[in-house]
């Protein structure tokens, strides 16, 4: 009986020691173990917005031909200016400029106000509310929160949120606006090279490398319609417009010629999938931006 009791007591002591050991091995909670909740890049430790300029750009809508962007200015921790705009697939004038000139023609289509007028109301609403989330949208991207606004505002809301989340950005070296340059008519090819650029927040955000012939046809459109026929007629790896668009993208990513060098034919190995001569377009782009320098 004593022997049995002794075994029970020993087992109790061992179990107690194991439990104590488990508790003792638990590491004390440190700051590294705690879940950290960091403030968005555009906010200070107190939750206020950092002063500066905020910018965000959406994706190109191939159907409409517009790519939206939002520029916000913050002073004293508050949004003091908002600019909702869009660049065209062919660069050139921005959407507000096109709307202001009457070319967009929303009122002619039965709208209560032109696009730029409605965009300005959305901008003012954001400045008043100081929060993009205050603009509630339905499944069509439209809102009842802003009187006089019937256009879709979902991209404005999303891009404003994206810009604030990313934090302030430095403006580029150019003056905002549309810029154009063109070369000489090539007697052999029958095309004159053209370049159109759009600058927003000091940076080139839209580029269109193309050309025009005696009939006034656009070279990229000519190629898209299958009239140029580089693949069919010349055995090229891609059509002309597909290759020149890659050169456009390279220009935008590098804000210029970047590391590209060209041979005597104006061709480069720096841009994958581009076998056509594109040097003239980079030269024309540089010429177009001469008047854009601040």
Task: In whole angstroms, give the CA distance from residue 172 to residue 54.
Answer: 12
Task: Retrieve residue 166's tokens.
Answer: 């990313």
pLDDT digits (tens, 9 = 90+) for 105-159: 999 999 999 999 999 999 999 999 999 999 999 999 999 999 999 999 999 999 9
Give the pLDDT of residue 39: 58
Distance of CA 174 to the CA centre of its chain: 18
Write out the chain's pLDDT in tens, 294 residues. 444 434 333 444 333 443 344 444 444 444 444 444 455 788 887 778 999 999 999 999 999 999 999 999 999 999 999 999 999 999 999 999 999 999 999 999 999 999 999 999 999 999 999 999 999 999 999 999 999 999 999 999 999 999 999 999 999 999 999 999 999 999 999 999 999 999 999 999 999 999 999 999 999 999 999 999 898 887 888 999 999 999 999 999 999 999 999 999 999 999 999 999 999 999 999 999 998 998
Give the pLDDT of residue 233: 83
Is 116 within 8 Å of 96 (Cβ atoms)? yes
Can you list the domains of the chain with their CATH numbers?
Answer: 52-166 (3.90.1010.20), 177-292 (3.90.1010.20)
Residue 204, CB half-sphere, CA atoms under 13 Å: how many? 29
**pTM to 2 decimals?**
0.84
Q: For residue 194, what are the contacts with CB-CB under 8 A and spacing of at least 6?
A: 180, 181, 182, 183, 208, 209, 210, 211, 212, 219, 284
Question: Quick count: other Cβ atoms within 10 Å of Cβ 186?
Answer: 13
């Amino acid at each position: 009986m004593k022997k049995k009791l002794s075994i029970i007591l020993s087992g109790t002591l061992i179990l107690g020691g194991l439990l104590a050991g488990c508790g003792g091995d638990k590491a004390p909670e440190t700051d590294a173990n705690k879940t950290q909740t960091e403030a968005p890049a555009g906010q200070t430790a107190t939750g206020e917005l950092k002063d500066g300029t905020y910018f965000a750009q959406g994706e190109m809508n191939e159907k409409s031909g517009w790519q939206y962007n939002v520029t916000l200015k913050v002073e004293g921790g508050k949004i003091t200016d908002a600019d909702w705009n869009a660049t065209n697939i062919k660069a050139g004038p921005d959407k507000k400029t096109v709307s202001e000139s009457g070319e967009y023609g929303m009122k002619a289509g039965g709208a209560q106000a032109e696009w730029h007028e409605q965009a300005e109301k959305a901008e003012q609403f954001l400045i008043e509310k100081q929060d993009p989330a205050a603009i509630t949208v339905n499944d069509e991207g439209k809102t009842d929160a802003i009187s006089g606004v019937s256009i879709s505002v979902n991209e404005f809301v999303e891009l404003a949120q994206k810009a604030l989340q990313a934090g302030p950005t430095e403006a580029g070296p150019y003056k905002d606006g549309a810029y154009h340059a063109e070369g000489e008519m090539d007697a052999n090819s029958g095309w004159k090279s053209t370049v159109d650029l759009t600058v927003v927040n000091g940076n080139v955000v839209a580029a269109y490398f193309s050309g025009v012939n005696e009939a006034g046809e656009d070279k990229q459109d000519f190629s898209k319609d299958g009239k140029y026929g580089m693949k069919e007629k010349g055995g090229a790896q891609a059509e002309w417009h597909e290759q020149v668009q890659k050169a456009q993208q390279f220009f935008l990513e590098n804000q210029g010629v970047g590391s590209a060098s060209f041979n005597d034919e104006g061709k480069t190995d720096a841009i994958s999938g581009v076998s056509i001569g594109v040097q003239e377009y980079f030269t024309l782009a540089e010429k177009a931006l001469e008047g854009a320098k601040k």
